[in-house]
Amino acid sequence: MKKRIICLLMAVLLIMTLSVTAFADGGYTGDYVRDYNNLLTQKQAESLEAMAKKASEKVGCGIYLVTVDNYREDTGNSTDFEAAQVIYESNSLGIGENKEGIMLMMSMDDRHMYLLAHGKAAQAAMNKEHTDNVIDRLHDYFSEDDWYNGFCKYVDMAESYAGMAAGSPFNSHKVVVILLGVVLCLLIGAVIALIVTLILKQQLKSVAVKAEASNYVDGGLNLSFRNDVFSHTTVSRVYSPPNDNNNDSGSGIDFDCDGDYSGGGNDF
């Protein structure tokens, strides 16, 4: 009987060990963070998952992170844009009826990142300018292998841009406060100007209108000679470089757009 109990306990421990090993090999897989390459510790992944979930629910747009070994080999697609779409759809990402979402794909073998947006709201949030800004900012972190802080920055920037595009209550409140402050400043300025004007008006009551303009000049005006002398001419020239219409604003990354998907990426 004791031998059976010992064998049973050993079997349970073996199963638990294999499960832990399998989880470690597969990495952390949450609803918003899917770190298949073990770039994050368990604690970091859970913290980032909570951060992404809170941000996604706040702006009504999913903010996702997916790390893969090689996007070409894992998806069978040669372009990062197509590979990111496959990963987005195969993982059933997105919030709401339109599956709105922003996804950062990290391909570690070739050190390449791609920022994908799905849905009208997500695409409005991550336009070319915003995509360039995020990619440029994340490059500073990822070039130093600072994964966790880089991912946190990504969630923060994606939340900010999605909030501005959706007009979240937080941003609307800020606009109202700013407008009220401007109106209050204008009213205070108008009251002060009115008071100053009334004081000056009281001081000018004793001034009488004179019949001739010369009476306003102290001692009269006696103009006997006038002469205009041309001295010199000064010319200033400012160099204006030629405008290159082929260069777009931002980091110059390729921005792809095809129907419900758009995005851009770069190496790190």
What's the DSSP call for residue 100?
B
C-beta separation of 115 from 155 below 8 A: no
pTM recorded for the entire structure: 0.61
Q: What pLDDT shows up at residue 99?
A: 95
pLDDT band at 252 (very low <50, low <70, confident <90, very high): low
Residue 83 burial (10 A CB sphere; 0-12, 13-18, 19+)? buried
pLDDT digit string, tens, across residues 65-106: 999 999 999 999 989 999 999 999 999 999 999 999 999 999
Mean pLDDT of the chain: 80
Q: Is the pLDDT of residue 19 over 50?
A: no
Interatomic CA distance for residues 131 and 253, integer angstroms: 9
- Other CB atoms within a 10 A radius of the CB of residue 164 amount to 14
Residues constituting the chain: 268
pLDDT at position 168? 45
Residue 127 DSSP class: -
Angle CA(48)–CA(54)–CA(60) in degrees, nearest 5? Answer: 125
pLDDT tens sequence across 145-175: 999 999 999 999 999 999 998 764 444 445 5
Q: Show Cβ contacts of residue 151 under 8 Å, excluding neighbours closer than 6 positions.
A: 33, 40, 48, 65, 104
- By the 8 A CB rule, do 117 and 261 touch? yes
What residue ranges define each of the domains in the chain, with the CATH number in brackets?
Answer: 31-170+254-267 (3.10.310.50)
Through-space distance between the first and last CA atoms of the chain, rounded to whole angstroms: 60
Q: Is the pLDDT of residue 15 over 70?
A: no
